[in-house]
């Protein structure tokens, strides 16, 4: 995994739950600050788990002890936080159904003694063992949090701090999945010899724009197809909604190699065998997807014209991402704002539109001079009239007026395409705009001419045109 350029963004993407205690939040941040590009879950030279032991073990235990109410505490018993990657749960929660007095079935949780092997199986790579245990513990954390919630889904009185700590641990474990060793020593077997490229990576984005990487898109497609495959096996018209939910939960437990006790299992042996075939098939597909690029999207494949056109903006794009994340200072006098409640793609598109706006030249080193439109904006903020601006800059009033109009058009073009359609990954624009783009294409207009005609940015129009061509 090429973490060097991605580490800063990765660490800013994960944060502790705002409900957790100040001590836990401080320990969480200390763990993050101790991670480096060389850290991995199995490294002895740059280890992760000693960080957790030093910064979080005691404060996590105090969080548990501080809550005196009744909850599923036994699900986290017997193992320290820093040991969870090495040891599976002693007990684990299995979703089941409970029959009420009126005959309706309701969702329940059965806590049973774990029959999981306590030691790493011979031949299993260490990283696979750790990731498997983290996934098992995550299931217990989910049910422990559920036991702290009232009927309305709100934490019980005084349980907010503990809920925050448990959610923060889940977030930390999700972060750790990105810190796999670059090489894994294992048996010379296709099913065992798997490196960091072939495991789920979370959503990764193109280094040059807002779009998801080729690998992330493919893994998402596989996830959708796998859910459809599970649904085809579990589909039944005779079961209640609660019972169907339980069957889904139990199917996902089978995916992590957990055996279901017959007393609570709502999945038949034949269904379990069929689910095994489904999981096995998609596991191979995920391993194949591991060969796809995680650094670039399909539009910015290395060697393509779009890749070479945008490569010189890479440093500026990454820097402005840091600006929008609050960890750097902007080089621009006029800054585009992400839309309200923006997701990561919309934040990244704002950064892309900013550095491709042409407000000033993107210099190979910091310290580029601001452009005319930015100077006009700064003077406008100072209250200068157009005559005063023209006199100070030594240009005509018409040039000032033209610069102001150009700046307004630029900002409006960004706002018109700043929301992202989650299904396509491109700008979400009205159907009428898309019709205008199709009409302009039939007339043979260039992307730049179309962008000017419909009032959108060139990058936005380029993405929409490519989407239309792919269909």
Q: Tokens 């630029």 — which residue?
A: 410
CA distance 15 to 361: 35
**57 vs 46: CA distance, rounded Å:** 19
C-alpha 414/C-alpha 273 separation (Å) is: 52
Q: What's the rounded mean pLDDT across residues 375-389?
A: 92
The confidence score (pLDDT) of residue 300 equals 96
463: Cα separation from own chain's centroid? 22
- Coil, helix or strand for 299? coil
The predicted-structure confidence for 64-86, as pLDDT tens digits, reads as follows: 999 999 998 999 988 999 999 99
In this structure, of 5-14, 187-196, 230-239, 336-345, the range with the lowest mean pLDDT score is 187-196
Q: How big is the chain, counted in residues?
A: 471
Helix runs in 356-457, H state only: 372-381, 386-393, 397-416, 431-442, 447-454
- Report the 10 Å Cβ neighbour count for 317: 21
Angle in degrees, 0-180, between the axes of helices 214-234 and 241-255, rounded to the nearest 10: 130
Mind listing the domains of the chain with CATH numbers? Answer: 1-89+122-199 (no CATH), 421-471 (1.10.10)
Q: Model's pTM, two decimal places?
A: 0.68
pLDDT of residue 364: 58
- Return the percentage of the chain with pLDDT > 90, whole number: 55
Measure the CA–CA gap between 346 and 419, rounded to whole angstroms: 6
In 59-103, which ranges are E strands? 91-99
pLDDT category of residue 187 using cuts at 50, 70 and 90: very low
Q: How confident is the model at residue 18 (pLDDT cuts 50, 70, 90)?
A: very high
Q: Band the pLDDT of 14: cuts 50, 70, 90.
A: confident
Q: Is the pLDDT of residue 220 over 50?
A: yes
Using an 8 Å Cβ cutoff, are 293 and 213 in contact?
yes
The larger pLDDT score, comparing residue 90 to residue 367, is at: 90
Confidence label for 163 from pLDDT (cuts 50, 70 and 90): very high
Write out the DSSP string of 199-254.
S-----B-SSSSSBPHHHHHHHHHHHHHHHHHHHHH--SSS-HHHHHHHHHHHHHH
For residue 26, what are the CA distances in angstroms to 15, 33, 122, 215, 231? 11, 11, 38, 34, 43
| Rounded CA separation 378/176 (Å) | 44
Residue 378: CB atoms within 10 Å = 14
Using a 10 angstrom Cβ sphere, with 0-12 exposed, 13-18 middle and 19 or more buried, the burial of residue 137 is: buried
Q: Are 177 and 134 in contact (CB under 8 A)?
A: yes
- Confidence band (pLDDT; 50, 70, 90) for 100? low
Q: What is the mean pLDDT of the chain?
A: 86
d(CA 164, CA 25): 10
């Amino acid at each position: 995994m090429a973490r060097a350029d991605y580490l800063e963004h990765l660490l800013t993407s994960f944060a502790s739950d705002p409900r957790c205690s100040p001590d836990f939040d401080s320990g969480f941040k200390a763990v993050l600050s101790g991670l480096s590009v060389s850290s991995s879950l199995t490294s002895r030279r740059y280890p992760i788990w000693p960080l957790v032991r030093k910064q979080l073990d005691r404060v996590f235990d105090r969080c548990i002890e501080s809550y005196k109410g009744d909850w599923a505490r036994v699900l986290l018993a017997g193992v320290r936080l820093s040991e969870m990657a090495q040891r599976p749960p002693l007990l684990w929660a299995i979703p089941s159904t409970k029959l009420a007095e009126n005959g309706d079935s309701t969702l329940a949780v059965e806590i049973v003694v774990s029959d999981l092997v306590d030691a790493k199986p011979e031949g299993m790579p260490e990283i696979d063992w750790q990731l498997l245990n983290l996934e098992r513990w995550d299931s217990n954390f989910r049910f422990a949090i559920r036991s702290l919630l009232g009927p309305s889904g709100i934490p019980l009185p005084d349980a907010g701090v503990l809920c925050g700590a448990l959610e923060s641990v889940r977030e930390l474990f999700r972060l750790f999945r990105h810190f796999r060793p670059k090489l894994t020593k294992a048996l010379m077997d296709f099913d065992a010899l798997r490196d960091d490229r072939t495991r789920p990576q979370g959503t990764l984005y193109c280094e040059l724009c807002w779009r998801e990487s080729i690998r992330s898109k493919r893994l998402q497609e596989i996830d959708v197809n796998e859910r459809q495959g599970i649904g085809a096996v579990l589909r039944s018209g005779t079961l209640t909604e609660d019972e169907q939910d339980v069957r889904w939960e139990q199917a996902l437990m089978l995916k992590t190699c957990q055996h279901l006790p017959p007393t609570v299992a709502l999945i038949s042996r034949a269904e379990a065998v069929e689910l095994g075939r489904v999981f096995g098939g998609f596991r191979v597909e995920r391993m194949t997807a591991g060969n796809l690029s995680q650094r670039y999207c399909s539009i910015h494949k290395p060697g393509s014209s779009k890749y070479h056109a945008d490569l010189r903006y890479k440093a500026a794009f990454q820097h402005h991402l840091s600006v929008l994340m609050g960890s750097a200072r902007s080089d621009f006098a006029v800054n585009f704002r992400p839309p309200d409640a923006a997701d990561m793609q919309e934040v990244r598109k704002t950064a892309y539109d900013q550095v491709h706006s042409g407000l000033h030249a993107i210099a190979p080193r910091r310290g580029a001079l601001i452009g005319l439109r930015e100077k006009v904006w700064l003077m406008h903020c100072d209250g200068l009239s157009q005559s005063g601006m023209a006199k100070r800059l030594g240009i005509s009033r018409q040039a000032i007026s033209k610069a102001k109009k150009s700046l307004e058009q630029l900002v409006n073009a960004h706002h018109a395409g700043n929301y992202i359609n989650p299904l396509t990954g491109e700008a979400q624009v009205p159907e009428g705009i898309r019709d205008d783009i199709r009409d302009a294409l039939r007339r043979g207009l260039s992307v730049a001419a179309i962008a000017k005609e419909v009032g959108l940015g060139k990058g936005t129009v380029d993405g929409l045109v490519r989407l239309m061509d792919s269909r």
